[in-house]
Amino acid sequence: MSGPLGRILAQVIVAGGATLGRAMVAAYGRALQNAQKAGIDREVARNVRRAEKITLEEARSILNVTEGPMYEAASSSSSASSSSSGGGGGGDQSQQEQPAQNLPCDPDELSRRYLHLFYANEENGSFYIQSKVYRAKERLLMDFPEDVRRAIELTIEQEEEMRKAAKKREEEEEAARAAAEEEKRREAEEAKMKAEAKGAEEEEKPR
């Protein structure tokens, strides 16, 4: 592992004796802080916490979602059609068809809850809770069929891009407002200085 996380963990390894446990805890906290401040990829931060395995029920509890509806893969009907048209392919049909299953949660609910909790805790500065929310989302996605999982990931990605664009616009607007206020302040200061200079000239004129 390279970068600030690698350097911190390397320092922990050389620490020995009774202080090793305390050093690891301290380094762990610093690693997560550095990951957030330095903008390290979320996957790296997630790997730091890889020992924290959570169950499906724990993931649902973190995101406050419930078990989803029944789902049957769309490929089942097409597989059945191709098998019947081929003739004598009854055995292949039974192998290709996949039984309906309950989704781990509602896909739309997962997207909404994840985005709300993740960005709410970003504003509050709680990287620990953000990481728990992120891991819960990843755990739930593991149990989705591939096509549904990709659709959820695309929805989340698009929403994140929209949020980033909106945040960038807000920052640009704030910078423009700050620049305009600074310009007004400067103009007011110049006007005040000119008025004071003019007043001083008037006082120096002979009467």
Work out whether strand 101-102 and strand 70-71 pair parallel, antiparallel, or are unpaired: antiparallel
Has residue 88 got a pLDDT over 90? no
Q: What pLDDT shows up at residue 116?
A: 94
Has residue 76 got a pLDDT over 60? no
Give this prediction's pTM.
0.53
Determine the longest span between alpha carbons in the chain, in angstroms: 120
Has residue 57 got a pLDDT over 50? yes
Task: Please give the structure tokens belonging to residue 2.
Answer: 């390279």
Average pLDDT over residues 141-155: 93
Has residue 133 got a pLDDT over 50? yes
Average pLDDT over residues 106-127: 90
What angle (nearest 5°) sits at the alpha carbon of residue 34, between those of residues 31 and 40? 105
Average pLDDT over residues 152-164: 93
Has residue 2 got a pLDDT over 70? no
Has residue 197 got a pLDDT over 50? yes
Contacts of 96 (CB under 8 A, 6+ apart): 75, 76, 79, 83
Average pLDDT over residues 173-198: 89
Q: What pLDDT shows up at residue 60?
A: 94
Task: Please give the structure tokens belonging to residue 133.
Answer: 């929310």
Has residue 137 got a pLDDT over 90? yes
Has residue 82 got a pLDDT over 50? no
Q: What pLDDT shows up at residue 75?
A: 52
Q: What pLDDT shows up at residue 26?
A: 55
